[in-house]
Amino acid sequence: MHLKNNKIKIVKLKQYRSDKGLLIPVSFLSSFATPILRVFFIFANKGNIRGEHAHKLCSQIFTILIGKVKLIIIGPSLKKKIYYLNEKNIKSILIPPLHWCRLEFLKKSIVSVACDQEYKFNDYIETFQEFLKKIK
């Protein structure tokens, strides 16, 4: 992803409600200024934890679809940021490379993750100690 800076970006998504349901359009190029090469979905029950890794090159955009999650992010400055994502206040959070992420499921939930890179195992930083070495 060609970010102008290495900061987390939060985008409140427009929602169009009617008696037929809810429509939430997302334009990655205008909202996040990035092409998307891969999308995956995480389904998990309350109490599950996902993530607990960082990426060397890949940026990810997290969007809650159903439920409620706590997203904990530690950036290169080692400052911890916590975001709560829920289906009543839908927003997307762009997480640049070299940010440690932990996703805690507070309810049975579905989270969409859009990436600017194809899956590459070598892009993962799997331990916090490895993350600390990489950011120094």
Q: How do the domains of the chain map onto residue ranges?
A: 9-135
Neighbours of 64 (CB within 10 A): 23
**Between residues 33 and 47, the one the model is more confident about:** 47
State the Cα–Cα distance between residues 134 and 99, nearest whole angstrom.
11
CATH architecture of the domain with residue range 9-135: Sandwich (2.60)
**What are the distances in angstroms from CA 114 to CA 11, 70, 134?**
14, 18, 24
Question: pLDDT tens digit string along 36-74?
Answer: 999 999 999 999 999 999 999 999 999 999 999 999 999
Q: What's the half-sphere exposure (Cβ side, CA atoms, 13 Å) at 89?
A: 8
Instruction: Tell me if 93 sits within 8 A of 10, measured CB to CB.
Output: yes
- The pLDDT confidence band at residue 5, using thresholds 50, 70 and 90, is low
Residue listed under structure tokens 């997307």:
92
pTM of the model: 0.90
